Amino acid sequence: MNASTQACDPDGHVDVTPNWTCPFCSLLCDGFRVETEQSGLRLVGSDCSKAVQGLADFGPATASAMPSVDGRPVTADMALDAAVGRLAACRMPLFGGLATDVAGMRQLYRLANATGAILDHARGDALMHALRALQDRGQVFSTLAEIRNRADLVVCIGTDAVGNFPEFFRRCAPVDDAGFARRTVFVGVDAPAGLAGEVAQIAPEGDLFDAVAMLAALVDGRRVPGADTALADLAQALRAARYCVVVWEPGRLPAQGALIAEALLRIVMSLNRSTRAGAFILGGADGLQTANAVTTWLSGLPLRTRVGPLGLDHDPLQYATARLLAGNDVDLLLWVASFGTKLPPPSTALPRIVLGHPRLASACAGEGTVFFPVATPGINSAGHLFRADGVVTLPLRILRDDGLPTVADIAKALEARLALRRLATEGQP
């Protein structure tokens, strides 16, 4: 157990973990505390709805959580054997969800090699908006501390930011005597209440595709007949800003959102020719940023890659979870959801192996499913996660030990048993 952490005593006395890193969104706030009570975990120092909801998934200690096969509670040994039997029999498994930490992904990659799996994350569609733009044109980014110290203009495109990232504006708010004033503009959405500094919102006609295309043209200084005056004013403000940051949220974009990402990149690149600008992508939650980073550094290719017997194959469209399941293109689903109950495995007639939060047990009780309750990094195991910006990696500390295995533990055990089984049946691992 981590030195900074203490469990509550038998009287239900409260203990406080001061150095906690919150795993429930990709901002990874490390400035709040958590009180460990016998009835559960309580956030101190913030009213962040994501953290409060995340912690609510942890009531009294869940030490009694057991693996199950087809809904029947079994020992870990039996569950591992059942899962390995299915893995050994499948030809084209999909490893989905992938809501885990660095250690979990490292082991899952090994297991993917042993089984020829396709890797995709529960939020793969959102990732692809950003990734496909990166692959086609690039990316210009800024990080929280840069925004905090420099950004006199923040423009949120199609997102109020706080809906899914409640602490965003607090995390990047300038200090009182920063020497500049912050203006925040919301495009195509209502501004949230209670923001410091000057706040404006504009509602351009048409959809977001039209709005960003027009804004890009205006920032480039092109003549746009009948241009929306609010967008023209915004383009003017962008050019006049000392350091502006364009904030967008891939998870809120419609299909073909990469086109919006490309237009935003064009705007930021154009601005950087005369002033300074960057973008901040509000994404990467549920371990998405982490799963993609680890897969990329190990293999050389990002998510939606198949680790097949003939090598790697990356396809941002073909290897989407929904498409693979709908088309019966895979024959097994291994689903990983260690951060909470919000990402239950998709229902499918395929055999499923689920490494999930203990409270996902009921969603994994059906025929054909092997369920392993696993620890949540930052709650009942230590770990590491990548922040939304993809730069900062933070350590997650254990709040209480519920005796649960980690995703890495299960993946490692599966790999080892699979190798033994193959040795026994085929004469080689």
Partner 1 sequence: MSTIRLKGGRVYDPANGVDGDVRDIGMRDGRIVALHPQEEVDHEYDVSGCVVMAGGIDLHTHIGGGKVNLARMMLPEDHRANRQRDPLLELASNGCCTPGTLETGYRYAQMGYTAAFEPAMLAANARHAHMEMGDTPILDHGAYVMLGNEELFLEMLARGEDFERIRDYVGWSIDASKAMGVKVVNPGGISAFKFNQRKLDVDENHVHWQVTPRDVVHTLARALTELGVPHPLHIHASNLGVAGNIESTLATIDALDGLPGHLTHIQFHSYGKEGPKKFSSATRQLIEKVKAAPNVSIDVGQIIFGQTVTASGDTMRQFANADLGSPRKYVGGDIECDAGCGVVPFRYREQSYVNALQWAIGLEIFLLMDDPWRVVLTTDHPNGGPFTSYPHLIRLLMDKSFRDEQLARLHPDVAASVDLREIGRELSLYDIAIMTRAAPARLLGLADRGQLGVGAAADIAVYREDADRQAMFATPEYVFKDGRLVARQGRLEAVPVGGTHFLETEFDPGIEKTIEKYAQRHLSVSYRNAKIGKDELCSCANGGALLACKVHGRRGGK
Summarize as ranges the residues that interact with partner 1 (CB under 8 A). Answer: 19, 21, 30-31, 102-103, 106, 109-110, 113, 131, 134-146, 148-150, 171-172, 175, 242-243, 269, 272, 275-276, 278, 292-294, 296-302, 307, 310-312, 314, 384, 386, 389-395, 428-429
Q: Give the C-alpha separation, 66 to 76, whole Å.
A: 8
Q: How far is the CB of 397 from partner 1 (least distance, A)?
A: 10
Q: Give the C-alpha separation, 117 to 151, whole Å.
A: 43
Q: Taking the CA atoms of the chain, what radius of gyration do you get in angstroms?
A: 23
- Our CB check for partner 1 shows the closer of 137 and 421 to be 137
Q: Give the C-alpha separation, 248 to 232, whole Å.
A: 19
- Our CB check for partner 1 shows the closer of 56 and 394 to be 394
Q: How far is the CB of 132 from partner 1 (least distance, A)?
A: 10
Question: What tokens were used for 193?
Answer: 């209440």
Residues contacting residue 113 through CB under 8 Å, at least 6 positions apart:
307
Q: How far is the CB of 115 from partner 1 (least distance, A)?
A: 12
Q: How far is the CB of 393 from partner 1 (least distance, A)?
A: 4
- Our CB check for partner 1 shows the closer of 248 and 371 to be 248
Q: How far is the CB of 276 from partner 1 (least distance, A)?
A: 5
In 268-338, beta strands by DSSP E: 276-281, 305-308, 311-314, 332-337
- Our CB check for partner 1 shows the closer of 157 and 265 to be 265
Q: How far is the CB of 146 from partner 1 (least distance, A)?
A: 5
- Our CB check for partner 1 shows the closer of 363 and 399 to be 399
Nearest CA to 245 out of 150, 170, 176, 158 is that of 150
Q: How far is the CB of 101 from partner 1 (least distance, A)?
A: 11
- Our CB check for partner 1 shows the closer of 394 and 416 to be 394
Strand order in the sheet with 40-44: 15-17, 33-37, 40-44
Q: How far is the CB of 352 from partner 1 (least distance, A)?
A: 24
198-202/183-187 β-pairing: parallel
- Our CB check for partner 1 shows the closer of 330 and 350 to be 330
Q: How far is the CB of 112 from partner 1 (least distance, A)?
A: 8
- Our CB check for partner 1 shows the closer of 21 and 341 to be 21
- Our CB check for partner 1 shows the closer of 229 and 297 to be 297
Q: Give the C-alpha separation, 94 to 327, whole Å.
A: 13
HEC string of 185-215 equals EEECCCCCCCCCCEEEEECCCCCHHHHHHHH
CA distances (Å), 288 to each of 57, 96, 260, in order?
Answer: 20, 11, 20
Nearest CA to 335 out of 104, 132, 71 is that of 104
CB 419 within 8 A of CB 114: yes
CB atoms within 10 A of CB 406: 23
